[in-house]
Amino acid sequence: ITVVAGTLVGLVAGKFLNERIRTATMNAVALVVIGIAVPGLMTSTKPLVPILSLVIGTVIVYLLEMFAGYEAISFLAFNLDGIKRFELWRLVTFVFMPNDSRPIWLAISLYLYYWIGSTLEQRWGTARFNLYYIGGVVLTIIGTVLASLITGFHGLTVAGTYYVNMSLFLAF
């Protein structure tokens, strides 16, 4: 699934973005796909790759936003209108949207997500941590789709996984 999502992002990025933004986007997707698809690839003692991939992906998207503006990354956010237009990468890429645009708070929150996430991953194991986190992402998608359908406003947008990340504190 991760490889398919990365391929879809690559196809779309190649079609609609200029060269600099396309290269930055594809590098971010490549890091994330490699990190999630091959647990334990980056470390030899413990597999901390999934949470590290989330942190690295968020930093890359933040840097893209900082240099190119929010419009350059708005195509990553999840909304039902985008899914209806077959922009299926939005099902995956909204996870990497930063929750805060202030560098100090972003750094603090990413450090805490990494620290808590890696601790949970060590305690639970990579498979259980992935199930917990991906389950939260899927429930976020379902909640957004239901809210969009109930209210009739299909432009409801989710940019980031603030509540999923906050649930890491609860699990900790």
Q: Report the percent of the chain where pLDDT is more than 70.
A: 72
* Secondary structure (DSSP) of 81-133: HHHHTT-TTHHHHGGGS-S--SHHHHHHHHHHHHHHHHHHHHHH-HHHHHHHH
- pLDDT exceeds cutoff 60 at 142: yes
Encode pLDDT of 80-108 as tens digits: 888 888 888 888 888 888 888 888 998 99
Encode pLDDT of 45-78 as tens digits: 444 457 888 888 889 888 888 888 777 778 888 8
The full length of the chain comes to 172
Write down the pLDDT at residue 30: 53
